[in-house]
Amino acid sequence: MSRLFTPLALGPVTLPNRIIIAPMCQYAAQNGLATPWHTMHLGNLSHSGAGLLIIEATAVVPEGRISPQDLGLWNDETEQALATAVNAVKAYSAMPLGIQLGHAGRKASAAVPWQGRARVSEQQGGWQPVAPSALPYDDNDAPPTAMTTQQIADVVTAFATAAQRADRIGFDVFEIHAAHGYLLHQFLSPLSNARDDSYGGDLNNRMRLVLEVFRAVREVVPAHKAVGVLISATDGVEGGWDLEQSVALSHALHAVGCDFMHVSSGGLSPAQRIQPGPNYQVSYAERIKREVGITTIAIGLITEAEQAEGIVATGQADAIGIARAVLYNPRWPWHAAARLGAQVATPPQFWRSEPHHIKNLFQH
């Protein structure tokens, strides 16, 4: 029996299989509002047969958006717009849904990828980014504004408030974005955090904000729903955030009730030395799983069914996340199930698409 297609408990939430569609920014929102694009995109992926669909990084405050086209969840209007999309998806799909809550910090107010990601000025509709310290991501960038302790407290509150909104919308899984060089990662790394107060300096201080945000979100999310954290296991830069510190953070999060760790890498510095390749981040998830005992999701150029099966069957991780591969092939889990002799849940409208040479692919 395929291990990939066995159920998985993310804390109190049981997934039908171990394929997780990882968050993928769509840059299709208008002033933070979900649009019909999100309904179409999420509706398509909700029929993929995956065990969980986590929607894109959703900013908890307007200035936390990566780009002006990012999705947001900070007021009644953004909540209603996202609820409209989610309700349409839920009407025709039983797939569990997750949301990733984040704040871009010094990497905010950038152009969308197909326009080069250059900084969007305030005159162009952008804004002044904030960060733990006035250290820019790139030497060509203007420095961000160093946050006051009150601004830090306000961000913690914003994460919790956004989580309450997401709970009302009906999400099952909540993921806190502390990776890829965005705000919470910026507090973790000594390369971007030069503070001399209780949020900077030693490891415990640099981890403080992530733990405060997790506790605040966990407190407002009902006990029957899951809360986890996405991290970059390493900056890929000497003297930066690394796997040893990631293990320590995972221990600290596990101790306060974190249900899962979603393990990525990089994004904090343009000087990073990380060589992408098949399974290139799996070893990070494997070590965290082994040493901490927390449920882990491995990601990073996982594109083949047998590759994914090997990761979970050998215990390197509890689940795998796919992103670009499922954009390319939105029925990736169907094809994986066919190759591994497993089944996927699909609406009856799709049952007659089962190839003649494959039997019992769809659960009836």
| DSSP code, position 106 | G
> What span, in angstroms and rounded, lies between the C-alpha atoms of 111 and 68?
8
Q: How far apart are CA 237 and CA 76, in angstroms?
A: 41
DSSP letters along 56-110, please? EEEESSGGG-SSTT--B-SSHHHHHHHHHHHHHHHTT----EEEEEE--GGG-SB
Residues 57 and 101: their CA atoms lie apart, in Å, by 6
Q: Are 59 and 70 in contact (CB under 8 A)?
A: yes
Residue with tokens 């594109």: 303
> Catalytic residue at 182?
yes
What gap in Å lies between CA 291 and CA 311, rounded to an integer?
Answer: 17
- From the candidates 27, 137, 182, 284, give the one annotated as an active-site residue: 182
**Rounded-to-integer distance, Cα 37 and Cα 28, Å:** 7
What is the rounded distance in angstroms from the CA atom of residue 157 to the CA atom of residue 102? Answer: 13
Angle at which helices 203-220 and 243-255 pack, to 10 degrees? 40
Give the torsion sign (CA, 324, 327, 329, 333): positive
> In the block, which residue shows the tokens 């990380």?
274
How many other CB atoms are there within 10 angstroms of residue 168's CB atom?
10
The first and second tokens of residue 50, run together, are 């995956």
* CA 75 remoteness from chain centre: 21
User: Hey, CA dihedral for 16, 21, 27, 31, is it positive or negative?
Assistant: positive
Query: Residue 46 corresponds to which amino acid?
Result: S
Whose structure tokens read 């405050």?
A: 61
Concatenating the DSSP letter of every residue in 236-250 gives: SSTTS--HHHHHHHH
Q: Which residues are catalytic?
A: 182
